[in-house]
Amino acid sequence: MSRPAPLSGFPELLPRQRIVEQRVIEQLSRTFELHGFASISTRAVEPLDQLLRKGETSKEVYVLRRLQAEEGDSSDSGLGLHFDLTVPLARYVLENAGKLQFPFRRYQIQPCWRGERPQDGRFREFWQADIDVVNRDDLPGHYEVELPLVIGDALRSLPIPAMRMHVNNRKLSQGFFRGVGLSDPMAAVRIIDKIGKIGPNGVSKLLTETLSATDAQIKLCLELAAITTEDQSFVDRVQALGVVDPMLDEGLAELSAVVGAAAVDAPGLVVADLSIARGLDYYTGTVYETFMTGYERLGSVCSGGRYDNLASDGKNRFPGVGLSIGVSRILVPLLNQNVLSASREVPTCVLVALPDTESRRDCDRIARSLRSRGIAAEVAPAAQKYGKQIRFAERRGIPYVWFPGEADQPGEVRDIRSGDQVGADVDTWTPPESDLRPTVG
């Protein structure tokens, strides 16, 4: 069999890298739970009509098909792998509304699949970490203020570069575009969302071709998109443009609350950026895009917003607000550049040295005793010279080697980093807390 080639867009991590990913997922879970979010897990597939009903995503969906399906077998037809965790959440809420307590605070950390062109920070299979608050009928605006602060806590707890969250409000944008007289404000939102890719000239051209916008309208739209402030001064700058609309006023007030709270509770985290639009149709209020300092080329690594109409059963409406962290988008580039690493490539804290083949069962008992007290341990694979067994531990980053004592004598444990070796009782010896598990940094 020839050596297999890697599949582009489907990252696979080495053991040391996977430890980093696991620790990040554990820390995110811990932070979300500290804020009262409950974990859920949803199936990998959703009906295509649900996956395609919000926004332009048809080119991104992987369709499910069974290779040996018989002619006429349509049991898997119309199913696709989920490309995010928001659409599955909407379906989950509708199916379980009678069993959930509202407001429903959920977090979800799972793989997703998206059929886009692989590039730096963008993959076809990737991990996402989402938090959402969903309520029945109405969702108070304070949740739009709370969620970026939760995400800020989560991201600051990770050993990664600093983050900056850019926020805007759909009501602000749509109200402004309506106020300047554009025929389709929602189309204008989608066009402005492209400004980072095609620039002001490209946006001007699209506004002209798509909406027959005048030069005066285009000028106002570009002036709005150019407003960026770290405080609530954006309100005065927008009002100075002279555009009037009730929805605009509502959006200004909502965004001002988000930016004002973050300035007090998480200084430096949030910036008002009125070019942020978020292309998905279902957003209706605050929208968020987060960029990693020094890695802005990756695009937004944590995005989301408020949605009022994503989930409805005809009688009840379930508005929500959520944010999604691109775990793989953040970690894979950092891991590949060795910016992040784990202190060892195995969980093992202690390698029990094997004096001879006949001692393996005794050594297994030592390892079991260590494990019973929460110390990860394994027995050396072969009864080689102790020098070779120590090098085996060194190559894997295992910090301690346990040398069994003869007969009823206690053993000795060596810190192979310092060379210190002391007598130790297998029933009482404990390493420093920092050595129990691999550290990440």
Per-domain residue ranges of the chain: 15-336, 350-436
Determine the pLDDT at residue 406. Answer: 83
* Residue 62 C-alpha from the chain's centroid: 21
Residues 199-255: tens digit of each pLDDT = 999 999 999 999 999 999 999 999 999 999 999 999 999 999 999 999 999 999 999
Closest CA to 14 of 397, 406, 386: 397
| 85 carries a ligand binding annotation | yes
Binding site annotation covers 295?
no
Q: Is the pLDDT of residue 319 over 70?
A: yes
Separation in Å, CA 277 to CA 283, 353, 376, 418 = 9, 60, 48, 55
Contact between 191 and 206 (Cβ < 8 Å)? yes
pLDDT score of 438: 96
Which range among 11-20, 61-70, 264-273 shows the weakest confidence by mean pLDDT? Answer: 61-70
> What integer pLDDT is reported at residue 71 of this predicted model?
66
Is 278 labelled a binding residue? Answer: yes
pLDDT of residue 54: 59
132 annotated binding-site participant: yes
Element (H, E) at 262: helix 246-265
Return the exposure string of 177-193: e unless at least 16 CB atoms fall within 10 Å of the residue's CB, then b.
Answer: bbbbebeebeebbbbbb
HSE, side-chain direction, 13 A CA sphere, residue 245: 20
Residue 138 burial (C-beta neighbours within 10 Å; 0-12, 13-18, 19+): exposed
pLDDT 10s digits, 427-437? 999 999 999 99
Write down the mean pLDDT value for the chain. 93
- Annotated binding-site residue? 84: yes
Range list of H helices, 57-137: 86-96
CATH topology of domain 15-336: BirA Bifunctional Protein; domain 2 (3.30.930)
Q: How confident is the model at residue 85 (pLDDT cuts 50, 70, 90)?
A: very high
CA distance 429 to 373: 10
Per the annotation, does 282 bind a ligand? yes
Mean pLDDT, to the nearest integer, of 362-372?
Answer: 97
Assess whether pLDDT exceeds 60 at residue 339. yes
Nearest by Cα to 157 from 2, 19, 25: 25
Which of these, 252, 191, 248, 196, lies nearest to 218 by C-alpha position?
191
d(CA 256, CA 231): 8
Q: How far is residue 248 from each of residues 165, 180, 404, measured CA to CA in Å? A: 22, 11, 74
Q: Tens of pLDDT along 29-44?
A: 999 999 999 999 999 9
**Identical fold between 15-336 and 350-436:** no
At 5 the pLDDT is 85
pLDDT in tens, 148-168: 999 999 999 999 999 999 999
Predicted local distance difference test score (pLDDT) of residue 248: 97
Q: What percentage of the chain exceeds 90 in pLDDT? A: 81
Tracing tokens 């006949």 back to the chain, one arrives at: 358
Distance CA 251, CA 243 (A): 13
Residue 210 annotated as part of some ligand binding site: no
| CB-based contact 257:141 (threshold 8 Å) | yes
Query: Which CATH class for the 350-436 domain?
Result: alpha beta
Question: How confident is the model over 91-117, as pLDDT tens digits?
Answer: 999 999 999 999 999 999 999 999 988
Token match 């980072």: residue? Answer: 196
The verdict on whether residue 248 carries a ligand-binding annotation is: no
pLDDT > 70: what percent of the chain? 96
